[in-house]
Amino acid sequence: MSSSASNASLLSRSLSAVWHPCTQMKHHEQLPLIPIKRGEGAWLYDMDGKRYLDGISSWWVNLFGHANPRIGAALKNQLDTLEHVLLAGFTHEPVVELSERLAALTGHRLGHAFYASDGASATEIALKMSVHYWRNTGRPGKNRFVSLAGSYHGETVGALAVTDVAIFRDAYAPLVRGGTCVPTPDARLAEAGETAADVARRAAAALEAHLAAHADETAALIVEPLVQGASGMVMYDPEYLRLARGLCDRYQVHLVADEIAVGCGRSGSFFACEQAGIWPDFLLLSKGISGGYLPLSIVLTTDTVFEAFYDDDTARGFLHSHSYTGNPLACRAALATLDIFAQDDVIATNRAKAQRIGEAFRNALGGHPAVRHLRQQGMILAFDVADALAGFSRRFFAEALQRELLLRPIGNTVYTMPPYILGDDEIGFLASRCAAALEASLA
Ligand SMILES: *Cc1c(COP(=O)(O)O)cnc(C)c1O
């Protein structure tokens, strides 16, 4: 078979045997799947050798490029030593070292690490732990959750209770015990003369009104610090997190910081919460923590929470588990990722890089009549497209692919969340091809 015939066969086999995520499969009648053969740095290469700049880090997970030699070497070493062992009754060096290093990164405020394999499970764990904490401390009535309008914390049935994205939730509404949505501090909501911090104060006042009336039944507030990712890279002022922390303390409600997308340096600091000078009661990591190599998620929490479960009584313990909890390969990938942060001074390097990305996009798109709210938080840049036609997002995606660029807009919001290893040439490429794809999809 010729290579293109074998590609065509792979695509049709994929469409009949693989049910792809986040996809109306019928759309693939028009939009071909892309068979990726290999990756290198910020680039993906398909079976025909065509390349694509991975402008979204393969769904926000990749930090230091595809086929990164340092992470690869650490994993190969781990593969020959221990691929997996259960974490109940057993332990191993990678999980201990990773837990200690993450605790140290929080200044030991969040010194207890609980493991799972994906982000939604981390959300579920934090929600369960919070409710179980209140039960163990004699307040079983505190079992409801508050989240922000437009929040996204995963798509399993429990996580949907705190996810406010209609397209992910509506079909399953009968399964979900809904929580309360309070107003988002979205900086775009600023009225004339208002700053982003003013919007944050307004949103915090609404949160306070809710907590004042419902603290007795509320276990936790869950937020995506600084950027609400999946609802369209909604950015907000850190003042909201400071005020929310104060209100959670005052009303005895846990604060859960879902840093699955914004953690690991994405927002400009290792943890986004650092920019508000606060620590949550639970901090969730996944996506970038393994460098984009293996499924891994982590819930970090405090001594106070841990101690409420520490008892002779089994049922007061946190009995949640997953088969691959604390997988040594995934932990090793995370340790190699943390090594790169330390060795390459990534947070400082990214600061300069983020500035260049911002300049490149302002130059390429700043004056464009359709571009609204060009915004940036660390290594996330986004803008909204005014008056886009229905189907804009898929059209833009296709136009970008034709220009060797992988970007997947969310509705009318175009964003990039690239790997941290982009060079200056690649930054220029990203901005100029994005601008060209925008022109083509508006035409
Ligand atoms: C991606 C994401 C999740 C869910 O993680 P999965 O691994 O996809 O289940 C949860 N919260 C936020 C903020 C995310 O971006």
In angstroms and rounded to an integer, the radius of gyration of the C-alpha atoms of the chain is: 22
Topology adopted by domain 72-344: Aspartate Aminotransferase; domain 2 (3.40.640)
37 CA to middle of ligand 1, Å? Answer: 26
Instruction: For residue 67, report the phi and psi dihedrals to the nearest 5 degrees.
Output: 50, 45
Mutate to test the pocket of ligand 1, among 56, 153, 377 (most ligand atoms within 8 A of CB): 153
In this structure, are residues 45 and 400 in contact, taking their beta carbons and an 8 Å threshold?
A: no
pLDDT at 31: 85
Assess whether pLDDT exceeds 60 at residue 1: no
Q: Where in the chain is the domain with CATH 3.90.1150.10?
A: 34-67+345-442
Give me the helices (H) in 290-369, please: 303-309, 328-343, 346-365
Assess whether pLDDT exceeds 90 at residue 443: no
> Can you tell me the mean pLDDT for 277-306?
98
> Can you tell me the mean pLDDT for 24-52?
94
425 CA to middle of ligand 1, Å? Answer: 30
* Both tokens assigned to 205: 């006042």
In this structure, are residues 200 and 243 in contact, taking their beta carbons and an 8 Å threshold?
A: yes
Q: What is the pLDDT of residues 331-365, one digit of tens each?
A: 999 999 999 999 999 999 999 999 999 999 999 99
Closest residue CA from atom 5 of ligand 1: 119
CB neighbour list of residue 192: distance below 8 Å, 6 or more residues apart: none
Q: Where in the chain is the domain with CATH 3.40.640.10?
A: 72-344
pLDDT at 56: 98
With a threshold of 0.85, does the pTM exceed it?
yes
In this structure, are residues 116 and 299 in contact, taking their beta carbons and an 8 Å threshold?
A: yes
Q: What is the pLDDT of residues 160-202, one digit of tens each?
A: 999 999 999 999 999 999 899 999 999 999 999 999 999 999 9
Closest CA to 247 of 150, 154, 186, 182: 182
pLDDT at 9: 87
Q: What is the pLDDT of residues 221-255, one digit of tens each?
A: 999 999 999 999 999 999 999 999 999 999 999 99
β-strand 51-54 against 405-406: which pairing, if any? parallel
pLDDT at 8: 82
The matching CATH number, chosen from 3.90.1150.10, 1.20.140.160, 3.40.50.12780, 3.40.50.2300, for 34-67+345-442 is: 3.90.1150.10
